[in-house]
């Protein structure tokens, strides 16, 4: 999923001070009193600054690196959240040198940096710390040269043996890169020799078996404490705030259970198509691309029990418990409770768009789903009997991610004489793009009679805070540099998510071919998706 630009409502940030002022600012932060360690920290209240480090970016010439990773690193540098002793080694196969690759980065920043325009002095000092290494990802010589470069970085740039490896590559390259890093010993942490960490992008495996296999390959080289499996949704400000909302406010937690909640809806809607990623999407589809990670991560955060502490393992332990409690789907359940779809040509935001099968890199007879809706249940004390309705799709009418908690109706209709039929109370957490929280409840309409209607209390981040939210990749990159795994997924968490998805994919493979395409671009998906909540007497919320 591609994130949009930051909200224009926030104030524009001032240009970064010159280098001397940056040194003073970093010194002030280092001398600041320690604050309690909390993965939900806000702003610049850090326990410590990141250590000097060499960051190795594999796949540096790709779309992900240009759109997300490099702009995030630049913004961290701009905000004085990278150490001065930082070196970025960008690896790729294209015939660049340091100068030409830096020119490519500048073009990417002009297009994708969160704060515009790019400050010239900041860019100059950032670019000085970037170097390019050309080589094939499966070639021994590439990693021999990388090891030599990193030794030179420690000697000449003071990176002190600390390494952060970032795999912004196709998933097929994950295991070979890890194996090569192990071959040249770049995974090894020795006393006084610095730390070594690796960030791995999704998709982490294609199914349960491949995820387990990849976990085994990674574990042969890196310890679990060194591995950071990234799901950028967990770095979004509103997703992080979900835990604060639940566990820092007493008024909601007593209602957060099957006694008061009727059902939960989680929607991840995209108005875009596959853009230039048709070949990738053909191998993935909506189920693997969004359901297996983003949607199930949001479900786990909604349904988890309060952790004993807010450290990484305690937080992830509770998420894994939720995923293990998700009721397994049999073939009959998949046929009844899961609907897939694929978009045809249509209109989105007033513009005509092509169907999925007409997209570049897509098979004209493709059976890849671009939409999926599912009904899941959680078999535990808190949620037994409460359905969770999940849906995601491309080429829907708008871009929106929302978690809707729909409460039960009152047990006794005291105001039967009301002319209106107010909807049930609802709590909606908007993840993007209009970040905020909406509470819907019944209120009396002014007048002599008693007429009850639903009204909204609406909180918006853009109007309530005078700071601009960081991009998810900025948050996650900083956490990886600080060694905080709270917002990254663990090996068992990944495997449990694949366990939930596997019966869906297996049933589709064994069943008859789908009748695609079955929804027009610009609609809310196939008509059959309405039956997912409809069989329970419910309906999808209009977003």
| CATH code of the domain in which 387 resides | 3.30.360.10
With contact defined as beta carbons under 8 Å apart, do 96 and 135 qualify? no
Q: Within this chain, do residues 275 and 361 fall inside the same structural domain, yes or no?
A: yes
Q: Which helix (H) or strand (E) holds 320?
A: helix 312-325
β-strand pairing of 343-344 with 519-520? parallel
Q: Within this chain, do residues 224 and 243 fall inside the same structural domain, yes or no?
A: no
Q: Within this chain, do residues 250 and 398 fall inside the same structural domain, yes or no?
A: yes
Q: For 112, how many CA atoms within 13 A lie in the half-sphere containing its CB? A: 22
In this structure, is residue 132 part of a structural domain?
yes
Take residue 288 and report the two structure tokens written for it.
Answer: 């693997």
Residue 46 confidence class, pLDDT cut points 50, 70, 90: low
Contacts of 391 (CB under 8 A, 6+ apart): 265, 266, 267, 268, 269, 371, 372, 373, 374, 525, 529, 532, 540
Contacts of 160 (CB under 8 A, 6+ apart): 51, 52, 53, 85, 154, 194
> What is the per-residue pLDDT for 387?
98
In this structure, is residue 352 part of a structural domain?
yes
* pLDDT tens, residue by residue, 381-419: 999 999 999 999 999 999 999 999 999 988 766 666 556
With contact defined as beta carbons under 8 Å apart, do 269 and 372 qualify? no
Most confident of 39-53, 236-250, 509-523: 509-523
Q: Within this chain, do residues 225 and 250 fall inside the same structural domain, yes or no?
A: no
With contact defined as beta carbons under 8 Å apart, do 221 and 174 qualify? no
* pLDDT tens, residue by residue, 177-206: 999 999 999 999 977 779 999 999 988 989
Contacts of 17 (CB under 8 A, 6+ apart): 25
Contacts of 378 (CB under 8 A, 6+ apart): 303, 322, 325, 326, 327, 384, 386, 388
Q: Within this chain, do residues 39 and 167 fall inside the same structural domain, yes or no?
A: yes
Asked whether residue 2 carries a pLDDT value surpassing 60, the answer given is: no
> What is the per-residue pLDDT for 182?
96
What number is the average pLDDT over the span 194-223? 94
Q: Within this chain, do residues 54 and 144 fall inside the same structural domain, yes or no?
A: yes
Asked whether residue 155 carries a pLDDT value surpassing 50, the answer given is: yes
CA–CA gap between residue 72 and residue 82 (Å, rounded): 11
On the question of a cis peptide bond just before residue 323, with omega within 30 degrees of 0, the verdict is no
In this structure, is residue 522 part of a structural domain?
yes
Q: Within this chain, do residues 273 and 196 fall inside the same structural domain, yes or no?
A: no
Beta bridge partners of 208: none
Asked whether residue 282 carries a pLDDT value surpassing 70, the answer given is: yes
Higher pLDDT, 247 or 13: 247
Reduced to 3 states (helix: H, G, I; strand: E, B; else coil), residue 331 is helix
Q: Is the dihedral of CA 27, 28, 34, 38 positive or negative?
A: negative
What number is the average pLDDT over the span 77-104? 95
Last residue of a domain, one of 204, 229, 254: 229
Residues carrying an active site annotation: 294
In this structure, is residue 5 part of a structural domain?
no
Higher pLDDT, 67 or 44: 67
Q: Within this chain, do residues 210 and 344 fall inside the same structural domain, yes or no?
A: no
> What is the per-residue pLDDT for 464?
79
Last residue of a domain, one of 168, 197, 229: 229
CATH code, domain carrying 160: 3.40.50.720
* pLDDT tens, residue by residue, 127-145: 999 999 999 999 999 999 9
Beta bridge partners of 351: 348
> What is the per-residue pLDDT for 417?
59
Q: What pTM does this model have?
A: 0.87
> What is the per-residue pLDDT for 421?
66
In this structure, is residue 523 part of a structural domain?
yes
272: left (phi over 0), alpha (psi -120 to 50) or beta: beta
Q: Within this chain, do residues 137 and 276 fall inside the same structural domain, yes or no?
A: no
Q: For 18-22, 34-38, 158-162, which range has the lowest pLDDT when averaged over its residues? A: 34-38
Q: How many domains, in total, are found in the chain? A: 2
With contact defined as beta carbons under 8 Å apart, do 57 and 88 qualify? yes
In this structure, is residue 4 part of a structural domain?
no
In this structure, is residue 437 part of a structural domain?
no
Q: Within this chain, do residues 172 and 298 fall inside the same structural domain, yes or no?
A: no
For residue 16, which of 91, 74, 97, 89 has the smallest C-alpha distance?
A: 74
Last residue of a domain, one of 206, 229, 252: 229
Residue 80 confidence class, pLDDT cut points 50, 70, 90: very high
Q: Within this chain, do residues 381 and 322 fall inside the same structural domain, yes or no?
A: yes
**In which domain, by residue range, is 398 found?**
234-409+473-534
Q: Within this chain, do residues 159 and 274 fall inside the same structural domain, yes or no?
A: no
**What backbone torsions phi and psi does residue 148 show, to the nearest 5 degrees?**
-65, -40
CA–CA gap between residue 389 and residue 266 (Å, rounded): 6
In this structure, is residue 115 part of a structural domain?
yes
Q: Burial of 318 by CB count in 10 Å (0-12 exposed, 13-18 middle, 19+ buried)?
A: middle
């Amino acid at each position: 999923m591609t994130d949009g630009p930051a909200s224009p409502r926030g104030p524009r940030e001032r240009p970064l001070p010159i280098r001397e002022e940056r040194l003073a600012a970093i010194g002030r932060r280092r001398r600041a009193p320690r604050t309690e360690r909390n993965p939900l920290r806000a702003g610049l209240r850090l326990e410590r600054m990141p250590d000097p480090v060499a960051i190795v970016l594999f796949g540096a010439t790709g779309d992900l690196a240009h759109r997300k990773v490099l702009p995030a690193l630049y913004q961290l540098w701009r905000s004085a959240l990278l150490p001065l002793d930082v070196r970025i080694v960008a690896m790729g196969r294209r015939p660049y040198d340091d100068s030409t690759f830096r020119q490519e980065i500048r073009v990417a920043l002009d297009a994708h940096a969160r704060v515009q325009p790019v400050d010239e002095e900041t860019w100059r000092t950032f670019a000085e710390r970037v170097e390019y290494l050309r080589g094939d990802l499966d070639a021994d010589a590439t990693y021999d040269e990388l090891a030599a470069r990193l030794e030179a970085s420690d000697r000449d740039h003071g990176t002190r043996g600390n390494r952060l490896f970032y795999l912004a590559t196709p998933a097929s390259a994950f295991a070979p890169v890890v194996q090569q890093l192990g071959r040249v010993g770049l995974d090894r942490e020795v006393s006084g020799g610095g730390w070594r960490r690796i960030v791995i992008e999704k998709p982490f495996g294609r199914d349960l078996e491949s995820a387990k296999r990849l976990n085994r390959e990674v574990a042969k080289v890196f310890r679990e404490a060194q591995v950071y499996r990234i799901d950028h949704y967990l770095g979004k400000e509103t997703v992080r705030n979900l835990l604060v909302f639940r566990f820092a406010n007493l008024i909601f937690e007593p209602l957060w259970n099957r006694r008061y909640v009727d059902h939960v809806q989680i929607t991840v809607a995209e108005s875009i198509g596959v853009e230039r990623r048709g070949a990738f999407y053909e191998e993935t589809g909506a189920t693997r691309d969004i359901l297996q990670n983003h949607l199930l991560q949001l479900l786990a955060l909604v349904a988890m029990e309060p952790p004993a502490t807010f450290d990484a393992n305690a937080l992830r332990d509770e998420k894994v418990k939720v995923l293990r409690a998700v009721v397994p789907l049999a073939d009959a359940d998949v046929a009844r409770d899961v609907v897939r779809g694929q978009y045809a040509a249509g209109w989105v935001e007033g513009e005509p768009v092509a169907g999925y099968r007409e997209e570049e890199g897509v098979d004209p007879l493709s059976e890849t789903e671009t939409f999926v809706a599912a009904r899941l249940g959680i078999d535990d004390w808190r949620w037994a009997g409460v359905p969770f309705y999940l849906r995601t799709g491309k080429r829907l009418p708008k871009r929106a991610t929302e978690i809707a908690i729909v409460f039960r109706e009152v047990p006794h209709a005291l105001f039967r004489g009301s002319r209106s039929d107010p909807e049930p109370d609802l709590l909606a957490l908007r993840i993007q793009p209009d970040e905020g929280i909406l509470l819907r409840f019944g209120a009396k309409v002014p007048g002599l009679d008693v007429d009850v209607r639903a009204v909204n209390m609406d909180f918006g981040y853009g109007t309530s805070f005078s700071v601009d939210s960081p991009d998810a990749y900025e948050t996650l990159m900083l956490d990886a540099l600080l060694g905080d795994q709270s917002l990254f997924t663990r090996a068992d968490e990944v495997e449990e998510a694949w366990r939930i998805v596997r019966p869906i994919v297996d049933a589709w493979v064994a069943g008859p071919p789908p009748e695609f395409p079955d929804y027009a671009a610009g609609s809310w998906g196939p008509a059959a998706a309405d039956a997912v909540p409809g069989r329970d007497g419910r309906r999808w919320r209009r977003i």
